[in-house]
Structures are given as structure tokens and as C-alpha cells.
């Protein structure tokens, strides 16, 4: 699986609100009303993440979930990362 250049990543991120890149990964901070909503987001996302077999680096502090996506096996951002970013956005919007 090929990695995207930083320019290609930014082109793809134009359709995903709030995501940024450092050229190696994409990141976003999701903010919710409270801890329960943040935790519900993670719990809802977990089965979809497992189904993709592509797991994020993520942390939760109270109402925030910080997500970092990168395809470590190839050392950069791939289609899998962008697909998962879209899934996470849809889950957050539905919360």
C-alpha cells in the first residue's frame, strides 16, 4: 500500500473538516458535551475500527478525544487512514 505525499494528504483532507497533517499522520481533536459522550464515541467507533483492522492512536481527557492516524506498516498516511477519518467524522456527527 502506497503512502501519500503531504500535498496529496492535504488535498484529501480538504473534504474532512478539522483534520491536520504533519506529513506522517493525520490528527483531529473531537470535542463532546461531556465525558459520557466522548466515551460513547469511542465505544461506537471501536467495532468499526476492528472491522477495518486499522487502529488509531487516541486519547481521551474528559470531553475530548484526540485521534492520530498513520499506517505504521508503511510509514505514512494511506487510503486506510483517510477512510477511517471519514468514519470517525460520521460517528461524531451522529452523536
What residue spans define the domains of the chain?
A: 6-94
In the predicted structure, residue 1 carries a pLDDT above the cut 90: no
pLDDT at res. 27: 98
What pLDDT does 75 receive?
87
The SS3 assignment for 54 reads: coil
The dihedral formed by the CA atoms of 10, 27, 1 and 76, expressed in degrees to the nearest 10: 90
Quickly state the pLDDT bin for 54 (edges 50, 70, 90). Answer: very high
Query: What's the confidence (pLDDT) of residue 87?
Result: 97
- Contact present, 19 and 11 (Cβ < 8 Å): no
Average pLDDT, the chain: 95
Specify the CATH number of the domain 6-94. Answer: 3.30.1360.20
- What does the pLDDT average to over 69-91? 94
Task: State the alpha helices, DSSP H only, in 1-95.
Answer: 6-13, 35-52, 79-94
Amino acid at each position: 500500500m502506497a503512502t501519500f505525499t503531504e500535498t496529496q494528504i492535504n488535498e484529501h483532507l480538504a473534504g474532512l473538516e478539522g483534520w491536520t497533517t504533519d506529513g506522517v499522520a493525520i490528527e483531529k481533536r473531537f470535542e463532546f458535551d461531556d465525558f459520557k459522550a466522548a466515551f460513547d464515541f469511542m465505544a461506537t467507533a471501536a467495532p468499526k475500527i476492528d472491522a477495518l483492522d486499522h487502529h488509531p492512536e487516541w486519547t481521551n481527557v474528559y470531553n475530548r478525544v484526540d485521534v492520530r492516524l498513520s499506517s505504521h506498516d508503511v510509514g505514512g498516511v494511506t487510503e486506510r487512514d483517510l477512510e477511517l477519518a471519514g468514519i470517525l467524522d460520521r460517528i461524531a456527527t451522529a452523536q
